[in-house]
Chains A and B, each alone.
Chain A
């Protein structure tokens, strides 16, 4: 049953039904006085007052200061605001939402949360939008906190890559997470988030029960977060080759989990939460990159604030600064650097390290290769997942946890099957303001599409069986991903047979194609020995055979990730001239293609035994095409160590006073995405607001 949030009668600025995007709270934005109507101290914008430690001049002060306005940050902000604290969210991007905004909204919690209970009872939602019966049987939804805690600390689970996703999780943090899953589910629902039927569990969320619904909105004539409706245009569905400023990724059909007219993805989660956060008077400072923590002494005393710099994003064509979709509560601060004081606490929710080659390489040295981005780099900009929380917290003495966990999730770093675009993890069509930063939607060929071309490295040589290259191992979640001997309700937690050597041998399926792609080759030069860019080489016959559309917006001859030429040699030349990370020419490409064609004629690939896995096609009919193959680093595992209150712990095992963290900045929880971030933000926001400021 969806709990509806009551109309906020104390705020004189409640918008009319049907969100008007630009004129909501414009008047209040500049002075940040949206919260004035609520009985809470306001952020004081006056400059130059109150010198702090070392003579710091504070430009702003607030009770709870949150670095990062994504999954964990917005959740923490609303929670702290509900507790009566004044809250400021600072985000480096031009808009809120982080990666939650272009996620799939698959939100795995459990422990007997109200959505599991709803589906177990065969009930619908209070608004009556859900007209389909539950997808899971009651037995699959019969969950409790102890079972959830057992699942996420289960020593015995080994994945198809022989890694253990649950064994290394931080136990105190897992207990807190499991206990707070049901309250967080209700909290999200109280802030306009609507959940579909439960359908399975997300990676790292446990093997025993189904715990994950998606988030949905209903297509309608007007976009109204309170009513739960969205226009086809705003959902990115009005035009097959466009999306919208509201939805960076087109929403997906949710008929099977809700009913006709329902659509789902991260838009149905991020926008409602953002709407609620703004409505409740949280202050927001966008285009503002959290740079560093300010602690009373380098490794002692309280964390008292942050330093943050101005990081606007300028559209490459219009030359204009990108502006957030909604404005109410925004503080438009443009000074190059400001110091912001947190009276109660700072919460680090600025994401992980996936976008920073220098930092992420502590987990995998070969990924110091800057050619390979993090996901969502167009939407989120150059600060995406730049590891700032890790850097800043380590500088004040923070400890870390889960250091090997980047190896035990299949989506952490992986070969993307979307070709011809740098931002290869999701598609995005023209119509979103950040499309210009990627220039192409990308060609989604799927894992099965890899039989259609050859994959070459930076010197133009093949390096692996293309058909096995994009394979990813499973994610060890209900109902089993074939890595546990007991599937579905037959699964037995904490059982030695889950990791008996015979079983692991039998269930191992990983071919290490990604690692072959990252290996050194003859083009890898000192001192970095980067492995370099990767290319899918194909010909016109490939296009005729597959029907792939090599045209805008899917590919773009000017973005440096797609090339077309009359000959293989010209193709190699165009790649070298046009790709930003082509350090050396693909001098072997001609020989590679000729050799490959000989293998095709012979029906055998002596280098990589392709003929055993799928058909082989010659590359002979002009014109010839090269599309980038990306390695994407998506999730960040391993990061700051936290206790059950999500205080950041130092190298002596003590909480750092005034410092909290949630989301991908936190290490020691090998769970993919949203369910982790929301609960961690919920916990951090709760305790941060309770600090005596």
Chain B
């Protein structure tokens, strides 16, 4: 009989410190000398101040200890227990916490808070000597960071013309909402131009925007800058007087500044096959846009220039037409119907 040897090629040593293990990655330092059998992470991470979060467990591929059935006591930065759960190893080898610690509330102060997951029971086989020894030493505590961030302020700008005439007034609506639900009625914002000069300061009102539950807004009148081209202004919002920390939010406000848009671009949008008009077709000749009327007729006021003109409608693919516009023009846009198979066509 032939005995097969283990072979000549060198196999790499198995790596016990797989993913998730908190271990030293170089010279030992006092803070990173410990290797923990698992890692607890918050979802989301970071968490907004005073918001709810849950916990998940990450385990290395070759855990240093049997984790299945281990009980955890989750304790906050003051050592108060806020949840208990058990580590469960599924049939696919993935460990999860059961029940999932959910609905935990993050502290109201930003920064990194050190919580702990304390192993409550040792499920290794015991003899009396080991049990006594275990009782004498403290249970293993796995620290994890609960990183708390300030609330974000959501800023939206809408109902603004896609192209504004240089040096002429225009209006836009600005809306503010705190992502954690803090009441934003009357919150302040300012608008600064491309070089940082303030062009508007205002406050949102106390009526939510149509269709929203609590997004407060204000209509703002501004003057377009004198130079033609793209400009990016900023809407700045922050809330220094609120008990919850709110991060400063700078939201870009995009302007396409044009010279006088005095050229009339008239379009008739029709079905390419039947010639029938396409009502309410959408016309976009960046940065200008409009909607056709019920007869498929549309008029765009544009500045001279090169345009790629798209016309599209419900049930039609967009047509495109590239052209240079120097004076009033009339165009017919023929749209091809959306050839998506109908239910009847697609099914056998």
A residues with a Cβ closer than 8 A to B are 71, 99-100, 102-108, 202, 214, 249, 252, 264-266, 411, 417, 425-427, 446-448, 451, 467, 470, 527, 539-541, 545-547, 566-570, 584-585, 587, 590, 594, 597-598, 600-603, 611, 613-618, 620-623, 672-677
Contact = CB atoms under 8 A, between A and B. Distances in A.
Contacts of B251: 594
25 contacts: A103-B347, A104-B344, A104-B345, A104-B346, A104-B347, A105-B348, A106-B347, A106-B348, A265-B343, A446-B340, A467-B318, A527-B93, A527-B94, A539-B158, A541-B158, A547-B280, A566-B177, A568-B154, A585-B44, A597-B254, A598-B252, A601-B255, A603-B286, A611-B308, A622-B211
Given A104-B347, A266-B347, A411-B346, A545 B212 contact: no
Contacts of A470: 340
B52 to A, nearest CB: 10
The 7 A-B residue pairs whose C-beta atoms are closest, nearest first, are: A673-B348, A104-B344, A601-B254, A615-B284, A674-B348, A603-B286, A621-B158
Given A104-B342, A547-B280, A569-B179, A614 B310 contact: yes
A426 B252 contact: no
Interface in B273-308: 280, 282, 284, 286-287, 289, 291, 308
B343 A104 contact: yes
Given A104-B348, A614-B318, A621-B156, 11 more contacts: A104-B346, A202-B348, A448-B318, A470-B340, A527-B94, A541-B158, A566-B214, A614-B320, A620-B158, A674-B348, A675-B348
B157 A446 contact: no
B237 to A, nearest CB: 13
A567 B284 contact: no
B170 interface: no
Given A570-B179, A597-B254, A614-B312, A621 B159 contact: yes
B187 interface: no
B156 A567 contact: yes
Contacts of B230: 601-602
A546 B314 contact: yes
A623 B251 CA distance: 18
Given A103-B347, A451-B312, A614-B318, A623 B212 contact: yes
A601 B157 CA distance: 13
A523 to B, nearest CB: 12
B183 interface: no
A168 to B, nearest CB: 20
B144 interface: no
Contacts of A417: 340
Contacts of B254: 597-598, 600-602
Nearest to B212: A566
> What class of interface size applies to chain B in its complex with A?
35 or more
A29 to B, nearest CB: 31
B175 A622 contact: yes
Contact of B348 (A103, A540, A620): A103
A106 B318 contact: no
A527 B251 CA distance: 38
B127 to A, nearest CB: 37
B317 A447 contact: yes
A441 to B, nearest CB: 12
Given A106-B344, A622-B209, A613 B318 contact: yes
Interface string B251-264: 11011100000000
A585 B158 contact: no
Contacts of A594: 251-252
B43 interface: yes
B92 to A, nearest CB: 7
A675 B316 CA distance: 31
B338 A448 contact: yes
B345 A106 contact: yes
B218 interface: no
Contacts of B92: 527
A467 B252 CA distance: 26
Contacts of A611: 286, 308
Nearest to A541: B158
B347 A620 contact: no
Contacts of B339: 447
B190 interface: no
Contacts of A105: 344, 347-348
Contacts of A597: 252, 254
Given A448-B315, A621-B159, A427 B343 contact: yes
Given A567-B179, A621-B159, A214 B344 contact: yes
B215 interface: yes
Contacts of A249: 343
Contact of B284 (A264, A570, A616): A616
B115 to A, nearest CB: 20
A470 B338 CA distance: 12
Interface in B178-232: 179, 208-215, 230, 232
A620 B315 contact: no
A1 to B, nearest CB: 24
Contacts of B284: 615-617
Nearest to A100: B348
Nearest to B158: A621
A587 B46 CA distance: 11
Nearest to B316: A448
Contacts of A446: 315, 338, 340
A106 B343 CA distance: 10
Contacts of B236: none
A265 B282 contact: no
Given A541-B158, A566-B213, A252 B179 contact: no
B109 interface: no
A672 B346 CA distance: 9
A622 B43 CA distance: 27
A569 B154 contact: yes
Q: Which of B212, B291, B347 has the most CB of A within 10 A?
A: B347
A546 B315 CA distance: 10
B152 interface: yes
B348 A622 contact: no
Nearest to B256: A601
B333 to A, nearest CB: 12
Contacts of A546: 314
B312 A448 contact: yes
Nearest to B152: A569
Interface in B110-159: 152, 154, 156-159
